[in-house]
Amino acid sequence: MTTITPVRFLDRNTPPHIFTLIVVTGLGALSMNIFLPSLPAMALFFDAEYGLMQLSVSLYLFVNAALQVIIGPISDRFGRRPVILAGGVAFMVATLGCLAAQTIEVFLVFRMMQAVVVTGLVLGRAVVRDMHSEAEAASQIGYVTMGMAVVPMIGPGIGGALEQSFGWQANFWLLLALGAAILVLAFLDLGETAKRQTSSLSEQVAEYPELLSSRRFWGYCLTASFASGAFFSYLGGAPYVGSEVFGLTAAEVGLYFGAPAVGYFFGNGISGRYSTRVGINGMILWGSVASAVGMGISLGLSIMGLQTAFTFFAFMTFVGLGNGMVLPNATSGMLSVRPHLAGSASGLGGAIMLAGGGAMSLLAAALLTGDRGELPLLWIMFATATLAVFSILYTIRRQAQVAP
């Protein structure tokens, strides 16, 4: 199956252009991290402790995960286009609220509302699955999410420069401007791709057991969760390892920190180029193996006492490479188990991934204490990467049983 109808850019009577899907999904990544360098200045502005200010990150993630569960069924019922447009409007209102807030409590309320931007990420993937076959969808999702590898690398740098020049509010003014521009683009270009469901929203939600009873759906979810769990463990533990174990300065940690994003960029490129030819299960398996092998070698270097800051971060590119190959294809697999529930599968699968990855991040941060160096983090990352390999092997076996 190929695209539903030929795509014409800026024609909302046809499916959206790939560029539209890239920017719609990329806005969420930028909203997540652009203001992080401004947290100290924001804490000073709101006269709040830094720990309280960090709730703008954790609460955002919590609401993000919760929204992913319900956005899918809503879009399956009412269509992708109206839900994405409504999410864009809500994001702009929330961003204006963040700019107008004079107390930390008000700011956090509107910051949680900003999590509605996840609509673009969830439904961008569902739109791709609406338009393409399973393997083609994995290829296109790889291109759509490639932009999300670039944003985490450049977002904090942009945010820091804006805060230094114009104050922390400049970050949110930029988000407001980009949100408005992307909303206009979506209105002009994003045609409806979902077949309108006749069932009610409650009936859509009631179909979740159909997904949750599928072993292949769980196989793809667990594979993606373990693969992304290795990366989230890195996010939770790498700053500590860089500064406390290897004695790097904050600037050096920032320079090294983007190593997985480089691998992720190339992994997504490989997915976009070869998923159709190799198949999604093959791509997931090779990506999982790449991540596990990279972490295994790095762990071995640490055990032998040969680890350096450069080798530690260099081998993290294998985690990014593996994630870039695993996540687009695992997502396509989730959405293909029950194609008529693609929106629900995207939301539910994304929430499971985020919850699992968040747990790994907290675990890494909790274990990295004392004089154990980087070993606890590497053991966690190696274990989760290895579990991803076993999960996809189980999924491949299950698929062979279902459809020999």
pLDDT tens, 320-363?
A: 899 888 988 888 888 777 776 766 677 677 778 777 766 776 67
User: How high is the pLDDT of residue 18?
Assistant: 81
User: How high is the pLDDT of residue 27?
Assistant: 87
Task: Say which residue, 285 or 402, is predicted with more confidence.
Answer: 285
Q: For the chain, which domains are there?
A: 1-203 (1.20.1250.20), 207-404 (1.20.1250.20)
Are residues 185 and 9 in contact, defined by beta-carbon separation less than 8 angstroms?
A: no
User: How high is the pLDDT of residue 378?
Assistant: 92
Q: Indicate the angle between helix axes 342-367 and 55-78, nearest 10 degrees.
A: 170
Examine the pLDDT at 299 and tell me if it is beyond 80.
yes
Provide the pLDDT confidence category of residue 393 given band limits of 50, 70 and 90: very high
CB atoms closer than 10 angstroms to residue 55: 16
DSSP string across 86-131: HHHHHHHHHHHHHHH--SHHHHHHHHHHGGGGHHHHHHHHHHHHHH
Q: What is the mean pLDDT of the chain?
A: 81
Mean pLDDT of 357-371: 69
Task: Say which residue, 15 or 299, is predicted with more confidence.
Answer: 299
pLDDT tens, 59-82?
A: 787 788 788 778 877 887 788 889
CB atoms closer than 10 angstroms to residue 287: 30
